[in-house]
């Protein structure tokens, strides 16, 4: 479940504004019975979960009964929106399923109680004209407990969307702000209780890289970015969500590309071993992701054929289930945890060579030039009618050049680096459309070969015709994007 919530800090008693006027869509406000909630929050010794905007608590006193709740940030959203998962279980130990979802964060760390809170809550339900729940408003007086002793207290308003989206919740919050409430940091109660700012940038993330910095700092920044992307998308990937899985796959690809780009700056044995482990993980993620892309492609490009192509879509769904099962098993292995440990240690203390002590301004541009030359040489060798395989190789080289440029963009502080990366992405997208179409054609042909129903074979033939047309268009569309990339002015920074 996704939770959409806005918090406001208040002092003293709270008078509920009149939401039944001014076009809020509220026709009735129902006051609910007040409740007293008692929550014990569990975290690592260093509050690793709270620092990442995650809370795991056991709570009693609410309408649903005592239970564990895990709240996870949503990568593409701000902190007003989080995933909320509920687990049954006793108060003493967190359920195994919850701990499994936190593997990437916990690794070798253990969970223990870190805070106890008592919340006295007044509640109101805002109802719409169809008797639907629009939002729940709570006024919480929160006491931080040490045994029976109160060591801290704060008061806040929570507006939680039920039928309302984030914009609707924000409109309600604005009414409270106009009445004197102060916007509170969208932080869990635990964060306020222990005095931390979840999601605050780490020392590595605060690095303001400059051309005069040593190249080793650029390596650290790249490793940190990839590690963070892997870890933050891990829980939702385990839950089966498609976009976080895609982001994990991107993380493995970027990290492998960064290891190649910065190869001269890193211990070769460490880099080769890490790249091999990233390939292992990336292949597992890629098997699931490729099926997701195909399924979505067939549904979006041919909605009129979706019913007739049901058997093909079902076959893809079965394939995804098998691949996802293998991925899920891998994410429970010590091998995966060891990979995360390896990356975590390296982003803080990377195994650098002497070459990494050179200045970014002189050391980084040649790294991108090296990859760009390979891509340009490949493009020059294609001829007038290149094979799909050769165009796919060009796409991979262009992607490597793009990733290399993005990895050095911040320390070089040169707008042409960003422009080059953006245009390389355009070429990658154009050639990616061709590759997706080629894979789609192969998949349809493979699955239809096992299909005996004429209607399915007929509609599959129509789908193949569309994919052939899409491939033909993509085979010419990339040329225009390439001409914009292969520009002397655009790549002059690589030789400066």
Does 49 reside within a domain? Answer: yes
Domain hosting residue 406, numbered range: 215-495
Same structural domain, 305 and 449 = yes
- The answer to whether 112 and 40 have CB atoms below 8 angstroms apart is no
pLDDT band at 260 (very low <50, low <70, confident <90, very high): very high
Final residue of a structural domain among 137, 164, 194: 194
Final residue of a structural domain among 160, 194, 228: 194
- Give per-residue pLDDT as tens, 95-151: 999 999 999 999 999 999 999 999 999 999 999 999 999 999 999 999 999 988 999
Domain count, the chain: 2
**Mean pLDDT of the region 459-480:** 89
- The answer to whether 448 and 456 have CB atoms below 8 angstroms apart is yes
Same structural domain, 37 and 184 = yes
Does 201 reside within a domain? Answer: no
Does 206 reside within a domain? Answer: no
pLDDT band at 205 (very low <50, low <70, confident <90, very high): low
Same structural domain, 176 and 231 = no
CATH no. for residue 257? 1.40.20.10
Same structural domain, 158 and 219 = no
Q: Is 424 helix (H, G, I), strand (E, B) or coil?
A: helix
Does 204 reside within a domain? Answer: no
- What was the pLDDT predicted at 5? 87
SS3 content of the chain, % helix, strand, coil (to 5): 55, 20, 25
Same structural domain, 259 and 153 = no
- Residue 66 DSSP code: S
Query: How does the average pLDDT of the chain come out, rounded?
Result: 91
Same structural domain, 480 and 451 = yes
Does 205 reside within a domain? Answer: no
Higher pLDDT, 331 or 300: 331
- Give per-residue pLDDT as tens, 290-321: 999 999 998 887 777 777 778 888 999 999 99
Question: CB under 8 Å to 430, separation ≥6 — which residues?
Answer: 474, 477, 478, 481
CATH no. for residue 178? 2.40.320.10
C-alpha dist (Å) from residue 314 to 19, 97, 447: 47, 28, 11
Same structural domain, 25 and 136 = yes
pLDDT band at 192 (very low <50, low <70, confident <90, very high): confident
For the cut 70, the answer to whether the pLDDT of residue 166 exceeds it is yes
- What was the pLDDT predicted at 459? 77
- What was the pLDDT predicted at 80? 66
Does 208 reside within a domain? Answer: no
Same structural domain, 38 and 82 = yes
C-alpha 196: how far from chain center: 23
- Give per-residue pLDDT as tens, 209-245: 999 999 999 999 999 999 999 999 999 999 999 999 9
CA distance 463 to 252: 32
- What was the pLDDT predicted at 277? 99
**Mean pLDDT of the region 245-253:** 98
Same structural domain, 372 and 428 = yes
Does 266 reside within a domain? Answer: yes
242-261 and 388-412 helices, crossing angle to 10°? 80
For the cut 80, the answer to whether the pLDDT of residue 206 exceeds it is no
Same structural domain, 285 and 372 = yes
Higher pLDDT, 79 or 421: 421
| Residues of the chain above pLDDT 90, percent | 71
Higher pLDDT, 79 or 468: 468
pLDDT band at 257 (very low <50, low <70, confident <90, very high): very high
Same structural domain, 312 and 386 = yes
> Is the pTM above the cut of 0.85?
yes
Does 209 reside within a domain? Answer: no
Q: What is the DSSP string of 302-369?
A: -GGGTTTTHHHHHHHHHHHHHHHHHHHHHTTSHHHHHHHHHHHHHHHS--B-GGGGSBHHHHSHHHHH
Q: Is 2 helix (H, G, I), strand (E, B) or coil?
A: strand
For the cut 90, the answer to whether the pLDDT of residue 453 exceeds it is no
Q: Which residues of 424-438 are buried (b: 16+ CB within 10 A; e: fewer)?
A: bbbbbebbbbbbbbb
Same structural domain, 314 and 456 = yes
């Amino acid at each position: 479940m996704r939770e959409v919530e806005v918090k406001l800090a208040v002092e003293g008693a709270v008078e509920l504004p009149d939401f039944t006027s001014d076009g809020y869509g509220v026709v009735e406000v129902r006051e609910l019975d007040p409740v007293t909630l008692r929550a014990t929050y569990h975290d690592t010794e260093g509050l690793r979960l709270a620092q990442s905007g995650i809370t795991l608590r056991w709570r009693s006193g609410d309408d649903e009964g005592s239970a564990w709740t895990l709240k996870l940030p949503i990568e593409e959203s701000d902190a007003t929106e989080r995933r909320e998962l509920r687990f049954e279980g006793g108060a003493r130990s967190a359920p195994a399923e919850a701990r499994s979802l936190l593997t990437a964060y916990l690794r070798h760390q253990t969970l223990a109680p870190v805070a106890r809170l008592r919340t006295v809550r007044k509640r109101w339900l805002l109802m719409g004209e169809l008797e639907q729940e629009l939002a729940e408003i709570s006024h919480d007086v929160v006491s931080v407990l040490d045994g029976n002793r109160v060591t801290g207290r704060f008061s806040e308003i929570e507006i939680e969307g039920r039928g309302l989206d984030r914009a609707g919740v924000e409109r309600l919050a604005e009414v409270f702000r106009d009445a004197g409430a102060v916007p509170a940091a969208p932080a869990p109660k635990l964060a306020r209780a222990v005095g931390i700012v979840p999601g605050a940038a780490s020392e590595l993330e605060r690095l303001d890289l400059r051309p005069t910095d040593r190249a080793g700092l650029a390596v650290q920044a790249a490793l940190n970015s990839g590690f963070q992307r892997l870890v933050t998308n891990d829980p939702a990937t385990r839950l089966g969500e498609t976009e976080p899985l895609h982001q994990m796959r991107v993380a493995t690809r970027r990290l492998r590309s960064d290891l190649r780009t910065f190869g001269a700056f890193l211990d070769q044995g460490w880099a080769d071993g890490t790249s091999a482990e990233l390939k292992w993980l990336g292949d597992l993620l890629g098997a699931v992701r490729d099926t997701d892309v195909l399924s979505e492609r067939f549904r979006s490009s041919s909605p009129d054929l979706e019913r007739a192509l049901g058997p093909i879509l079902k076959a893809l769904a079965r394939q995804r289930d098998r691949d996802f099962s293998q991925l899920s098993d891998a994410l429970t292995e010590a091998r995966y945890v060891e990979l995360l440990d390896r990356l975590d240690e390296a982003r803080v203390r990377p195994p650098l060579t002497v070459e990494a002590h050179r200045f970014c301004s002189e050391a980084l541009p040649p790294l991108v030039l090296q990859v760009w030359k390979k891509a340009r040489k490949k493009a020059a060798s294609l001829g007038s009618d290149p094979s799909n395989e050769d165009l796919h190789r060009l796409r991979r080289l262009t992607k490597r050049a793009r990733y290399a440029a993005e990895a050095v963009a911040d320390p070089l502080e040169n707008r042409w680096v960003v422009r080059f990366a953006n245009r390389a992405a355009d070429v990658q997208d154009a050639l990616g459309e061709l590759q997706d179409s080629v894979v789609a054609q192969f998949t349809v042909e493979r699955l239809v070969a096992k299909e005996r129903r004429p209607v399915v074979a007929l509609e599959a033939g129509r789908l193949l015709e569309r994919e052939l047309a899409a491939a033909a268009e993509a085979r010419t569309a990339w040329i225009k994007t390439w001409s914009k990339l292969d520009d002397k002015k655009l790549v002059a920074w690589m030789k400066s």
